[in-house]
Chains A and B, each alone.
Chain A
Amino acid sequence: MNVIEVQGLKKDYPLGKTIVHALRGIDFSVEEGAFLSIVGPSGSGKTTLLNIIGCIDHPTAGRVRIHDQEISELNDKQITDLRLHRIGFIFQSFNLIPVLNVWENVEFPLLLMKDKRKEEIAARVERLIRAVGLLDYMAHKPAELSGGQRQRVAIARALVGNPDIVLADEPTANLDSETSESILKLMRELNEAERTTFIFSTHDPEVLKYAGKIVKIKDGMIVGQE
C-alpha cells in the first residue's frame, strides 16, 4: 500500500527577474514501511521535494497524496494537524527547543496533541528515549549534548507521535562519520521496529548502503530509482 503518491510535482522559485525551476515534474510513490533515500547533488531539489511531501511548502503544480489525502485540499489547521499526527521531521541542524530538556523535547509533540493521557505520554517518551540510548541524559538541555545526541533526541521526537512517515533532510550532514553511521543504524532499526516509513535525503554515498530504496534526483527531475 502506498503511503505517499507524488504526481507531476513542480516547484518554481522567483529569483530576481528569473525563475528557478527547483522541481520539473516529479512522479513517484512510497510504500508503507519503506526506508527510502533521495539522493542527488546539492541544488538538485531534494530538500524542496521533502518540504512539499512534509507539507511545509506548496508545489507550483502537481499533486501530493498522503494516505489518499490530497494535501492541496487542506487548510492551514488541517495541514498543521497532519504534520503533528502523521509526519515526523528530522532536521539537518537538529532544531530542538533550547529551553526544554531531552524528556520535554521528546514529549512536546504529544502535549500538542492534547488527547493523550499522562501515563501514556510518559510511557511513550521513556520508550523512545530508551530506544535512542539517552536515558541517562533525560534532564539535559540541548546545549549540554553533543551533535549526535541532539540528533538522537530529534529522532525520538519525530517518532514519539507514532507518525506514518518520518522525513529527514540530510540528517547526518552535521555529524562525523562514526556518529552518522550510528544514527542511520538507529533509524533503520526504528523503521523495522515501528513499521514507520522513513524518507531521508543525502548526497553522501556512504549513507546509501542503509537505504531500502533509492530515488536519484538531478536538476529537479528523477533520473533513476533502485
Chain B
Amino acid sequence: MGLTFKIAWRNIWRHKGKSLVIGVILFIGALLMTVGNGMISGMENGLSENIVNLFTGDILIISDEQEKDNILLDLMTAKPLKVIKNYEAAREVLESEEMIADYLPAASGLVFLLNPRSEMGSVYLLGVDIDRYQRMFPNSIKITEGRIFERGERGVLISEFARKPLYDFMEYWLLPQDGILDESKLPEEAKEDLANLDVRSDIVFMGASDSNSTIDIRVPVTGIIEYKALNKIWGYYCLVDIESFREAHNYVTGADRAAELSPEEEDLLATEDLEDLFSSGDLFTDVITDESITLDQLREETARELVDYDLDDGSYNLAFIKLKAGVSTQEALAKLNRVFREKGIKVRAISWKEAVGAIGSMAVMVKAALNLFIMFIFFVAMIIIMNTLSMAALERTSELAMMRAIGARKGFLRRMFLAETSLLSFFFGGLGIASGIIVIYLIRAADISTTNEILQLLYGGEKLSPLYTSADFLLGLVELGIVTFLSVIYPLRVVGKIVPLDAIVRE
C-alpha cells in the first residue's frame, strides 16, 4: 500500500495541472454539498423547532372518522374536522403514557364572516384553553396590542397577519377592547380616510357544523398577536377561547355538561313522544305576554348562566401532544395507535408532518430540490473527473504498460489510480467540506431573515440558520466517497485494458 500511495502522491505532483482541475471540481462539489446539507439540516431543524415546539407538538390526536390527516393549514377545503367522540377515554390514555410530556386538547376549524355587502368570508380559529395553550407552547405568541383573554373568559386573539385581510373584507378595523388606535398600523387607505374609519372590538363568527347548520356568535377581540416564527404561515389562525369555538360549531360545551336541569326540564327531555309536548296546556301557561322587555334585558336573561365548570368536559376535535426528550416519534405513534385500537377508542395519532400537510409537502419539495441540485453538481463533477482521469490513463499508457510488463498486476495499477483520486478527494474534498462549514457559520453570523413565506420554508423559520451536524459530516464523507468511487470506475476500466505489449508498441 505504501508503494501505491508513494507513486500516486508523486504522480499528483507530476501532473499538477490535471490534479488541480480534478481538485478544484472536488472542492467546489464538496463545498456546495456541505452548504446544501447544512441548509437542509437547518431547514429541518428550523421547521421542527418552529412548528413542533411552537404550534403542533410532535404528535396530534384526531378522530378516527377524520378522512384526511392534513388537518392544519389545509386551506383548500372548509370541511369541518370530526369531533373526537370519546375524548375522555383518549385522555385517560394520554394521562397514563409516560412518554408524553404534555398535551393540549383543542378545536380547529374554519368560521365564516359576513361583510356589509353580504359577502361570505372566512377565518381559521384554534379554540383552546388559553392557560393550557401557554403551558404547552410557552412564548409561541407575542401580544402586540391589548391582552390575552383569561381562562373562562370569552375572547379572540386576532393575528397581525389576519388583521389586514379582515379589514379589507369586513371594512372595519379590529381594535382590542379598551385599546388605543395605533395609526401607524393602519392600512394606507384607512389612514387617508381616518374620519370614516370604522373601528370595532368584537367580531361575529358563523360556525359551520356537520349538520350544515350555522350558529352566529359575537366574540370580543381582547388582543392582537404575532407568532414567534412562521407568522405568515401560522398567522392564518386566530386563537379563540374553546367555549366560543364549541358554541360556534355546535359542539358540547363545558358549560353544557355542568348545567343543572330542573325536574321539569329533565321530564321534558325524557319525553319519548314529541306529540305529548303539545297535547298538554302546561307548556305555555306561564308565558308572560303583557310585560315589555328590552333587547339588552332579553340578552341578559337568555345568556348562559356562568357556572363553575371544567373546560375539559366539552368537545374537542384534536389534541396536540409533546413527547418527552429522546422519545422517538415513530415509536410513540405506533404505541399510541396500538393502545387506541386495543381499547376501542375511535381516535388515531398522526405525526406533525402529516398534520401540516401543505407545509410538510412543501418542505419535502424544497428538500428534494436542494438534494437534486447537489446531485446535479456531483453528476457534473463526476463526468469531468471521469473524463480527466481517463485521459490521464491513456496518456500514461506506456508507463503503465511497462509496469505490467515487469510484473505489476492489473490490481496494482487500479489501486494506484484509485489512490491518486482518493488522495485528491481527501485533500480537496476535505478542504471543500471545511470551507463549507466556514460558509455555514458565516451565513449564521450574517443574521439573514425574511418575511417571504416560501423563503421562510426554505429557512425553516424567519431567520436563515443553516446547521452542520456530525450526521451531515458523515453524510458528506459518504457522498464524497461515492462520487470518488463512481468517477474512477471508468478510468479503472481503461487502466485494466492496458496490456504489457502497449509498452513496446508505444516505443
Residues of A participating in the B interface, judged by any CB pair closer than 8 Å: 47, 51, 54, 56-57, 76-77, 80-81, 83-85, 88-89, 91-93, 95, 97-100, 104, 108-109, 111-113, 157-158, 161, 169
Contact = CB atoms under 8 A, between A and B. Distances in A.
Contact of A109 (B6, B406, B500, B504): B406
23 contacts: A56-B405, A56-B504, A80-B404, A80-B407, A80-B409, A81-B407, A83-B406, A84-B406, A84-B407, A88-B406, A91-B503, A91-B504, A95-B399, A95-B503, A98-B14, A99-B7, A99-B10, A99-B14, A100-B10, A104-B6, A111-B3, A112-B412, A157-B406
Contacts of A92: 507
B504 A51 contact: yes
A84 B500 CA distance: 12
Nearest to A55: B500
A93 B402 CA distance: 11
A189 B404 CA distance: 28
B5 to A, nearest CB: 12
Contacts of B404: 80
Contact of B398 (A57, A95, A99, A113): A95
Interface size bracket, B side: 20 to 34
A43 to B, nearest CB: 15
A109 B407 contact: yes
Given A97-B399, A111-B3, A83 B405 contact: yes
B502 to A, nearest CB: 9
A88 B407 CA distance: 9
Contact of B7 (A81, A97, A109): A97
B501 to A, nearest CB: 5
B11 to A, nearest CB: 6
A169 B500 CA distance: 14
B499 interface: yes
A107 B280 CA distance: 121
B215 interface: no
B438 interface: no
Contacts of B403: 97, 108
Contacts of A81: 407
A99 B11 contact: yes
B507 A91 contact: yes
Nearest to B503: A95
B500 A83 contact: yes
A157 B500 CA distance: 17
A64 to B, nearest CB: 15
A92 B10 CA distance: 25
B9 to A, nearest CB: 9
A85 B406 CA distance: 9
Given A51-B504, A80-B408, A97-B402, 5 more contacts: A95-B399, A98-B399, A99-B11, A100-B7, A109-B407
Contacts of B504: 47, 51, 56, 91, 169
Nearest to A77: B409
Nearest to B411: A77
A207 B501 CA distance: 25
A83 B398 CA distance: 17
